[in-house]
Amino acid sequence: MTHFITISGNIGAGKTTLSKILAQKLGWELAAEPVDENPYLEDFYKDMKRWAFHSQIFYLSKMAKHHFDLAKKTTSAIQDRSFYENAEIFAANLYKQKLISEKEWSTYAHLYRSLLDIMTPPDLIVYLQAAPEVLWQRIQHRSREAEKYMTLDYIIGLNEMYELWAKSFNRCPVLIYNIDKADLKYAEPEQEDLMAKIKQVLLLNTDNKHSCQWQAKSSIN
Protein backbone atom coordinates (compact mmCIF):
# COMPACT_ATOMS: atom_id res chain seq x y z
CA MET A 1 0.00 0.00 0.00
CA THR A 2 1.27 3.48 -0.86
CA HIS A 3 1.26 6.44 1.52
CA PHE A 4 1.47 10.20 1.18
CA ILE A 5 2.67 12.14 4.23
CA THR A 6 3.68 15.75 4.78
CA ILE A 7 6.31 17.18 7.14
CA SER A 8 5.12 20.50 8.54
CA GLY A 9 6.57 23.09 10.87
CA ASN A 10 7.73 26.65 11.32
CA ILE A 11 10.80 28.11 9.64
CA GLY A 12 13.90 26.52 11.14
CA ALA A 13 12.13 23.39 12.38
CA GLY A 14 14.18 21.12 10.13
CA LYS A 15 11.44 19.99 7.74
CA THR A 16 13.71 19.63 4.74
CA THR A 17 16.38 17.74 6.66
CA LEU A 18 13.88 15.34 8.20
CA SER A 19 12.05 14.83 4.92
CA LYS A 20 15.30 13.76 3.26
CA ILE A 21 16.19 11.42 6.13
CA LEU A 22 12.77 9.75 6.20
CA ALA A 23 12.61 9.44 2.42
CA GLN A 24 15.98 7.70 2.41
CA LYS A 25 15.22 5.41 5.34
CA LEU A 26 11.76 4.46 4.11
CA GLY A 27 12.66 4.32 0.43
CA TRP A 28 9.97 6.85 -0.44
CA GLU A 29 9.98 9.65 -2.99
CA LEU A 30 10.85 13.13 -1.69
CA ALA A 31 8.93 16.21 -2.86
CA ALA A 32 11.00 19.18 -1.73
CA GLU A 33 9.50 22.55 -0.79
CA PRO A 34 9.96 24.96 -3.74
CA VAL A 35 11.68 27.68 -1.70
CA ASP A 36 14.68 28.36 -3.91
CA GLU A 37 12.44 28.66 -6.96
CA ASN A 38 10.34 31.53 -5.59
CA PRO A 39 11.40 34.64 -7.57
CA TYR A 40 9.80 36.91 -4.98
CA LEU A 41 11.31 35.46 -1.80
CA GLU A 42 14.28 37.75 -1.27
CA ASP A 43 12.26 40.79 -2.34
CA PHE A 44 9.56 39.75 0.12
CA TYR A 45 11.92 39.71 3.10
CA LYS A 46 13.18 43.18 2.10
CA ASP A 47 9.70 44.69 1.58
CA MET A 48 6.96 42.42 2.87
CA LYS A 49 4.01 44.67 2.10
CA ARG A 50 5.04 45.15 -1.51
CA TRP A 51 5.69 41.49 -2.30
CA ALA A 52 3.57 39.45 0.16
CA PHE A 53 0.66 38.73 -2.19
CA HIS A 54 2.93 37.86 -5.14
CA SER A 55 5.00 35.50 -3.01
CA GLN A 56 1.98 33.73 -1.54
CA ILE A 57 0.23 33.26 -4.87
CA PHE A 58 3.43 31.67 -6.17
CA TYR A 59 3.54 29.30 -3.19
CA LEU A 60 -0.16 28.47 -3.50
CA SER A 61 0.13 27.46 -7.14
CA LYS A 62 3.42 25.62 -6.66
CA MET A 63 2.31 23.69 -3.58
CA ALA A 64 -1.07 22.83 -5.11
CA LYS A 65 0.73 21.31 -8.11
CA HIS A 66 3.02 19.35 -5.76
CA HIS A 67 0.05 18.09 -3.77
CA PHE A 68 -2.00 17.00 -6.78
CA ASP A 69 0.98 15.23 -8.34
CA LEU A 70 1.79 13.38 -5.12
CA ALA A 71 -1.80 12.35 -4.47
CA LYS A 72 -1.89 10.63 -7.88
CA LYS A 73 1.35 8.68 -7.46
CA THR A 74 1.44 4.91 -7.18
CA THR A 75 4.53 5.05 -4.94
CA SER A 76 4.81 6.38 -1.38
CA ALA A 77 6.01 9.96 -1.00
CA ILE A 78 6.99 12.57 1.59
CA GLN A 79 6.17 16.23 1.03
CA ASP A 80 8.29 18.98 2.58
CA ARG A 81 5.70 21.46 3.97
CA SER A 82 2.00 21.18 3.23
CA PHE A 83 -0.21 23.07 0.85
CA TYR A 84 -2.49 23.86 3.80
CA GLU A 85 0.01 25.61 6.07
CA ASN A 86 1.21 27.90 3.31
CA ALA A 87 -2.32 29.28 3.13
CA GLU A 88 -3.69 28.90 6.66
CA ILE A 89 -0.53 30.09 8.43
CA PHE A 90 1.86 32.04 6.23
CA ALA A 91 -0.63 33.85 4.00
CA ALA A 92 -3.13 34.27 6.85
CA ASN A 93 -0.41 35.73 9.07
CA LEU A 94 0.52 38.27 6.40
CA TYR A 95 -3.13 39.27 6.09
CA LYS A 96 -3.40 39.52 9.87
CA GLN A 97 -0.39 41.87 9.89
CA LYS A 98 -2.01 43.94 7.11
CA LEU A 99 0.77 43.05 4.69
CA ILE A 100 -1.86 41.64 2.33
CA SER A 101 -4.76 43.96 1.51
CA GLU A 102 -8.46 43.10 1.84
CA LYS A 103 -8.83 42.89 -1.94
CA GLU A 104 -5.77 40.67 -2.29
CA TRP A 105 -6.93 38.43 0.55
CA SER A 106 -10.37 38.01 -0.97
CA THR A 107 -8.77 36.86 -4.22
CA TYR A 108 -6.36 34.53 -2.43
CA ALA A 109 -9.01 33.00 -0.15
CA HIS A 110 -11.38 32.33 -3.06
CA LEU A 111 -8.65 30.53 -4.98
CA TYR A 112 -7.59 28.52 -1.92
CA ARG A 113 -11.13 27.35 -1.15
CA SER A 114 -11.64 26.35 -4.78
CA LEU A 115 -8.53 24.17 -4.66
CA LEU A 116 -9.60 22.57 -1.36
CA ASP A 117 -12.81 21.35 -2.95
CA ILE A 118 -10.90 19.13 -5.37
CA MET A 119 -7.94 18.14 -3.20
CA THR A 120 -7.40 14.77 -1.54
CA PRO A 121 -5.66 15.15 1.86
CA PRO A 122 -2.44 13.31 2.73
CA ASP A 123 -2.53 10.21 4.93
CA LEU A 124 -0.67 12.04 7.70
CA ILE A 125 0.84 15.39 8.60
CA VAL A 126 3.86 15.36 10.93
CA TYR A 127 4.13 18.70 12.74
CA LEU A 128 7.62 19.46 14.07
CA GLN A 129 6.90 21.49 17.19
CA ALA A 130 9.54 23.83 18.62
CA ALA A 131 9.80 26.94 20.79
CA PRO A 132 10.34 30.22 18.88
CA GLU A 133 13.71 30.74 20.58
CA VAL A 134 14.92 27.34 19.41
CA LEU A 135 13.78 28.06 15.87
CA TRP A 136 15.41 31.50 15.91
CA GLN A 137 18.72 30.05 17.06
CA ARG A 138 18.67 27.51 14.23
CA ILE A 139 17.76 30.16 11.67
CA GLN A 140 20.67 32.31 12.79
CA HIS A 141 23.02 29.34 12.71
CA ARG A 142 22.23 28.34 9.11
CA SER A 143 22.59 31.96 7.87
CA ARG A 144 20.51 31.72 4.72
CA GLU A 145 20.65 34.84 2.58
CA ALA A 146 16.89 35.04 2.06
CA GLU A 147 16.23 34.78 5.82
CA LYS A 148 18.56 37.53 7.02
CA TYR A 149 15.71 40.07 7.11
CA MET A 150 13.53 37.96 9.42
CA THR A 151 12.80 38.99 13.00
CA LEU A 152 12.14 36.95 16.13
CA ASP A 153 8.70 38.59 16.40
CA TYR A 154 7.83 37.25 12.95
CA ILE A 155 8.79 33.71 14.03
CA ILE A 156 6.82 34.06 17.29
CA GLY A 157 3.71 35.14 15.38
CA LEU A 158 3.99 32.20 13.01
CA ASN A 159 4.54 29.79 15.89
CA GLU A 160 1.35 30.88 17.63
CA MET A 161 -0.60 30.20 14.46
CA TYR A 162 1.13 26.85 13.93
CA GLU A 163 0.15 25.66 17.40
CA LEU A 164 -3.50 26.50 16.82
CA TRP A 165 -3.47 25.01 13.34
CA ALA A 166 -1.82 21.71 14.30
CA LYS A 167 -4.34 21.13 17.10
CA SER A 168 -7.42 22.00 15.05
CA PHE A 169 -6.59 20.66 11.58
CA ASN A 170 -9.04 17.87 10.73
CA ARG A 171 -8.52 16.96 7.09
CA CYS A 172 -6.19 14.13 8.07
CA PRO A 173 -4.37 12.90 11.21
CA VAL A 174 -1.69 15.22 12.63
CA LEU A 175 1.25 13.79 14.57
CA ILE A 176 2.81 16.47 16.81
CA TYR A 177 6.49 15.78 17.53
CA ASN A 178 8.50 18.15 19.75
CA ILE A 179 12.08 18.83 18.64
CA ASP A 180 13.23 21.39 21.23
CA LYS A 181 15.87 19.06 22.66
CA ALA A 182 16.89 17.14 19.55
CA ASP A 183 18.32 18.06 16.18
CA LEU A 184 16.82 15.30 14.05
CA LYS A 185 19.69 15.63 11.59
CA TYR A 186 22.00 13.95 14.11
CA ALA A 187 19.67 12.30 16.64
CA GLU A 188 19.39 8.69 15.44
CA PRO A 189 17.23 7.47 18.37
CA GLU A 190 14.74 10.28 17.79
CA GLN A 191 14.66 9.50 14.09
CA GLU A 192 13.77 5.88 14.83
CA ASP A 193 11.21 6.92 17.44
CA LEU A 194 9.49 9.26 15.01
CA MET A 195 9.50 6.64 12.25
CA ALA A 196 7.85 4.15 14.59
CA LYS A 197 5.15 6.68 15.50
CA ILE A 198 4.52 7.49 11.84
CA LYS A 199 4.13 3.81 10.96
CA GLN A 200 1.78 3.30 13.89
CA VAL A 201 -0.50 6.16 12.83
CA LEU A 202 -0.53 5.02 9.21
CA LEU A 203 -1.40 1.49 10.27
CA LEU A 204 -4.28 2.69 12.46
CA ASN A 205 -5.71 4.87 9.71
CA THR A 206 -5.32 2.55 6.73
CA ASP A 207 -9.01 1.70 6.64
CA ASN A 208 -10.09 5.32 7.07
CA LYS A 209 -7.74 7.03 4.65
CA HIS A 210 -10.20 9.67 3.49
CA SER A 211 -12.69 9.59 6.35
CA CYS A 212 -11.91 13.09 7.59
CA GLN A 213 -12.09 14.74 4.18
CA TRP A 214 -15.82 15.17 4.07
CA GLN A 215 -16.16 16.74 7.53
CA ALA A 216 -13.19 19.04 7.17
CA LYS A 217 -13.35 22.81 7.20
CA SER A 218 -10.81 25.46 6.31
CA SER A 219 -9.71 28.18 8.72
CA ILE A 220 -9.84 30.57 5.75
CA ASN A 221 -13.36 31.86 5.24
Q: Which residues are catalytic?
A: 80
Q: Give the H/E segment covering residue 5.
A: strand 4-9
User: Residue 19: which H helix or E strand, with range?
Assistant: helix 15-26
H helix and E strand count, the chain: 9, 5
Instruction: Find the farthest-apart pair of alpha carbons in the chain and give their distance in angstroms, rounded.
Output: 48
Instruction: Order the strands of the 4-9 sheet from edge to edge.
Output: 29-31, 77-80, 4-9, 124-129, 174-178
- Residue 212 contacts residue 170 (beta carbons within 8 Å): yes
CA distance 128 to 166: 10
Beta strand pairing call for 29-31 and 4-9 = unpaired
Collapsing DSSP to helix, strand or coil, 175 comes out as strand
Return the SS3 of 124.
strand
Output phi, psi for 29, to 5 deg: -75, 145
